[in-house]
Chains A and B, each alone.
Chain A
Amino acid sequence: MAQPSGSNRGKEAHMEQLITFVVLIAIGYFAGTAAESRHYRSIRERERQFLNLPAVTARNFLDDREEVAGTMLVYGNVVVSLDYFKRILAGLRNIFGGEVKSYLTLIDRARREAVLRAKKMAGNADIILNLRIETSSIGQNANRKNAVGSIEVLAYGTAVTLKK
């Protein structure tokens, strides 16, 4: 059998790269979509559970007549990263501009999750005052241009328990 020529070997290498690329996209797409819808379901359910614990951005929401039993600083944080498929989508979006929906849902999920964790920490408090949400990018790609590495979302506020 004849040795494969140089250009043939080059084609094989290209094929391998292409296959890896397609496999990564497929994994990213299927696993990422499944994880996202599962996460949204769980977020919606827990948000319903915490309906009786409102979180407000107001600093002074309390009536003078209400007696305060306890105060506590509560916080919740989440670190999320993008899947391979979304990264490609966002890369394509960079060409035409416009809203990058794939990033949007990821950060939205992270924010809601962080707020839920802060509420969980509040326990049986009655209200969370001065809720603040902070987003920062961390990790390997944080300082690189045009790259979203991992994003950390931190939500914090003051949980107040009233005397009943």
Chain B
Amino acid sequence: MILTNVETVPGKRIAEHFGVVSGSTVRAKHVGRDIMASFKNIIGGELKGYTELLNDSRKQATDRMMEQARQLGANAILNVRFATSSVAQGASELFVYGTAVRVE
């Protein structure tokens, strides 16, 4: 499965369009990470736990999107976009969407 965030797959011709596919996940951080993060808040800097958490969640959302595209018979997703929103205290939604196509 080829993913791009431009309108084409560079070097390939688009044979068929399947419309929008999307994947999302809502994640909350767990207490241990939260405590570590509040310590880190005194010193400042990168919160590695959160970085990993969001990275993993985004991968999961992407996997869901790819699964949907695969079921449609697509082999590439164009114009992929990521969106993040905080839905409630301590939980964020990671949403990813794109256009499923078949390329040759």
- A interface residues (Cβ-Cβ under 8 A, vs B): 24, 27-28, 31-32, 35-36, 39, 59-60, 62, 67-69, 71-73, 75, 77-86, 106, 110, 113, 129-130, 132, 134, 136-140, 142-143, 150, 152, 154, 156-158, 160
A-B interface, 6 closest residue pairs, ranked by CB to CB distance from nearest: A83-B44, A68-B11, A73-B3, A79-B50, A136-B84, A158-B4
Interface: B68 (CB within 8 A): no
CB neighbours (8 Å) of B80 from chain A are 73, 156
For chain B, the count of residues having a C-beta within 8 Å of the partner chain is: 38
| Known contacts A71-B10, A138-B92, A86 near B50 by CB under 8 Å | no
Q: Please tell me if the beta carbons of A67 and B11 are within 8 angstroms of each other in the complex.
A: yes
CB distance from A72 to the nearest CB of B (A): 7
Q: Is B104 an interface position by the 8 A CB rule? A: no
Cα–Cα distance between A11 and B84 once the two chains are bound (Å): 47
Question: How many Å from the CB of B3 to the closest CB on chain A?
Answer: 4
Bound Cα distance A106, B4 (Å):
29
* Interface SS majority for chain B: mixed
How far, in angstroms, from A44 to B47 measured CA to CA in the complex?
Answer: 21
Residue of A with least CB distance to B10: A68
Report Cα–Cα, A105/B64, bound state, in Å: 36
Report whether B5 and A139 are in contact in the complex, using a CB–CB cutoff of 8 Å: no
A77 and B85 in contact, given A71-B4, A83-B43 (Cβ under 8 angstroms): no
Residue contact A134 to B5, C-beta cutoff 8 Å: no
